[in-house]
Amino acid sequence: MAAIAAAALGPENVLGILMPSPYSSGHSITDATALAQNLGIATETMAIAPTMDAFDQALRPLFAGSEFGLAEENLQSRIRGTLLMAVANQFGHLLVSTGNKSELAVGYCTLYGDMNGGLGAIADLPKTQVYALCHWLNTRPTAVLRTLPHCGPEIIPAHIISKPPSAELKPGQIDQDSLPPYDVLDEILDRLICQHQSAAEIIAAGFEAQTVDRITALVNRAEFKRRQAPPGLKVTDRAFGTGWRMPIAKQWQP
Amino acid sequence: MKFALAQLNPTIGNLQRNAQDILEAAQAAQVQGAQVLLTPELSLCGYPPRDLLLQPYFIQQMNQVLKQLAQDLPMELWVLVGTVSEHGRSPQVGGKPLFNSMALLHQGQLQHMFHKRLLPTYDVFDEHRYFEPGQVNLEHWPSHDHKLTRHESANHESTRHKSTRNESTRNESASNTFTVVDTSQNPLRIGVTICEDLWNDDEFWGKRSYRENPIADLAQQGVDIIINLSASPYSLGKQALREKMLQHLAQRHNLPILYVNQVGGNDDLIFDGGSFGVDHQGTTVCRAPSFATALTLIDVDAATQQMHLGSRASLPRSPAEELWQALVLGVGDYARKCGFPRHSWASAAASTQPWWQRSRPLPSVQKMSSVF
């Protein structure tokens, strides 16, 4: 995403903001910083722990006696989203939303958090294709070197590609705790979204019934989020956005 | 007879700027010896204009800018400009108040207005919301068999062109064709289609999407060449599909086809350009680059309909390269066309470079960066 923005607008016109929380791993900072250096974009850092504390205090009377859960996890994303919009607001920048199609499909994105922004640049790119694009970038194709003449020997730091994907919203969390591997997920999503298949057809094609039912339910449930997402650049036959007109308040499972 | 394919990157609603781009393309085309300039679907307002089309003042301004453009363009050039036109009888007979049209401009005048016949209403398209489908009076002339010898055809055309010019002009307009005569007085009868008009070949798709098939209708009318003015959004692998489809159409109807596509990002849609031409055997004879503005010339022999090979830009080498170029264009155009950074728009817009020499389609980032 940062590489696309740097190539599209010039690295000198792109700003990356690092917003670590107490759950952020050390490598998420070092990897992001390495990426910014490779691209030649500027970065700023704003720790969000103090803001998290302030939110905790405000919510404590109401949340007393309940376990740390999804609401607290998502607060981190919402704090980041709010800070990012403040920066964009102050300086007249465009906040580019980083969600990919796999995440938007199953709702692995936070409203008023990482879904903030004016444009979803990779919103129609399934996660597996995001990886493919990163691998391709690291072959240093001439088409890319033309637009990013100052990039180093690698564009995407290898560790960003090799580490297990994680939102890092609680200790040790990874995406595959609650989702099938992305290659399986993306194939199920393609059948569901682009090929208009029913859950029964997908199961008949050899996918685990429990997984398919769960993914189908997640896609259904995330409709209200997608309706509030920024416009996303369309690169497939069927993108969420103008070409996807699903009711939100519905009782139908494909 | 040289055709110039102007692969433009319009900004939705910036009528003056879009008209200026068309004018600059026309001037460059004329310098390079073109007789006909083709621009993409709705090139005056940009595609898709969506609900701007519901504003009467917007339509009024488009008409005015078109009129001015007709007078500014090089007189000798035949220019097709994408615009909307009013469906004057809609209050009486019903239907939508507008057509999605191509205006044929020549000698300072509007010569014809051609209307799009097939209006897509699937995926991202919603054209029935605004437009009435164009109707045609099919002119079954000179024969139902369009494979009349070229010589007979040419003679017949030129005779008719001279003797009954007014009548034939009217009939031609109603049948979505027009005729241009080259410097040796050879006429070339051109069939005009707009985007979706091309996408209903039952043989290629194995089914019909619409009752009518504008390409087959034009072929039956004995046109010499078909042109298609498009704003066809990108998706992965789309250009390969377009070239395969045109190859099939050209072979099926034994006709050359020129295809001009819009380029640039407009909101969620990326238009990839890749304008190209195929000869009557379906061979790609010219191709503009993908994801960049371009002016591509192709020489068609009016007497024989043979095409001389033009420049053929190579296609992206891998799906990843294609996606990369698409997304870089989409992000860049979205930012520039929304006017980011907010405060430098006016100064950045005053670029002196003509559009086809700009590596980036709108105010260059280099100019903007000083105040970013």
Using one digit for the tens of pLDDT, what is the confidence trace for A188-220?
Answer: 999 999 999 999 999 999 999 999 999 999 999
Residue A154 within any structural domain of the chain: yes
> What residues contact B314, with CB distance under 8 A and at least 6 apart?
none
> What residues contact A188, with CB distance under 8 A and at least 6 apart?
A180, A202, A207, A211, A212, A215
Residue A195 within any structural domain of the chain: no
pLDDT of residue A54: 97
Pairing of strands B177-181, B269-272: unpaired
CATH code at A82? 3.40.50.620
Q: Are the Cβ atoms of B270 and A13 closer than 8 angstroms?
A: no
Measured CA to CA, the distance from residue A122 to residue A99 in angstroms comes to: 7
B238, B266, B328, B344: best mutation site toward chain A, by most A Cβ within 10 Å?
Answer: B328
Q: Decide if pLDDT at B175 tops 80.
A: yes
**Chain B contact present for A13, CB below 8 A:** yes
Which residues are bridge partners to B193 per DSSP?
Answer: B228
Residue A96 within any structural domain of the chain: yes
Residue A227 within any structural domain of the chain: no
Residues of A in contact with B267 (CB under 8 A): 231
Residues 122-151 of chain A whose Cβ lies under 8 A from any Cβ of chain B: 122, 125, 129, 132-133, 135-137, 141, 143-144, 147
Q: How confident is the model at residue B172 (pLDDT cuts 50, 70, 90)?
A: low
Residue A35 within any structural domain of the chain: yes
Q: Which domain holds residue A30?
A: 2-170
Mean pLDDT of A153-166: 90
What domains can be seen in chain B, in order of their start residue? 2-318 (3.60.110.10)
Phi/psi for A6 (5° steps) reads: -65, -40
pLDDT of residue B364: 35
The H or E element containing residue A153 is none
Q: Decide if pLDDT at B166 tops 80.
A: no
Cis ω on the peptide bond leading into residue B49 (within 30° of 0)?
no
User: Which of A55-59, B190-194, B299-303, B338-342 has the weakest average pLDDT?
Assistant: B338-342
Residue A159 within any structural domain of the chain: yes
Cis ω on the peptide bond leading into residue B256 (within 30° of 0)?
no
Q: How confident is the model at residue A147 (pLDDT cuts 50, 70, 90)?
A: confident
Q: What is the pTM of this model?
A: 0.90
pLDDT of residue A175: 83
The rounded Cα A140 to chain-centroid distance in angstroms is 24
Q: Decide if pLDDT at B73 tops 60.
A: yes
Residue in A91, A136, A243 closest to B320 by CB: A136
Number of domains in chain A: 1
Residue A40 within any structural domain of the chain: yes
**Catalytic residue from among B2, B45, B116, B322:** B116
| Selection from A22-31, B209-218, B361-370 with the highest mean pLDDT | B209-218
CA distances from B212 to A203, A213, B200, B333 (A): 39, 42, 8, 36
User: Which of B38-52, B56-70, B168-182, B354-368 has the weakest average pLDDT?
Assistant: B354-368
List the alpha helices (DSSP H) in A92-165: 101-106, 127-137, 142-147, 158-162
CB atoms inside a 10 Å sphere around CB A230: 18
Q: Do B97 and B64 form a contact (C-beta atoms < 8 A)?
A: no
Q: Are the Cβ atoms of A4 and B331 closer than 8 angstroms?
A: yes
Q: State the Cα angle at B302 between B3 and B241, rounded to 5°.
A: 55
Residue A177 within any structural domain of the chain: no
Q: Are the Cβ atoms of A4 and B328 closer than 8 angstroms?
A: yes
Residues of B in contact with A122 (CB under 8 A): 327
Measured CA to CA, the distance from residue A113 to residue A133 in angstroms comes to: 25
Q: How confident is the model at residue B161 (pLDDT cuts 50, 70, 90)?
A: very low
Q: Decide if pLDDT at B86 tops 90.
A: yes
DSSP annotation of A66: P
Tokens of A21: 């929380």
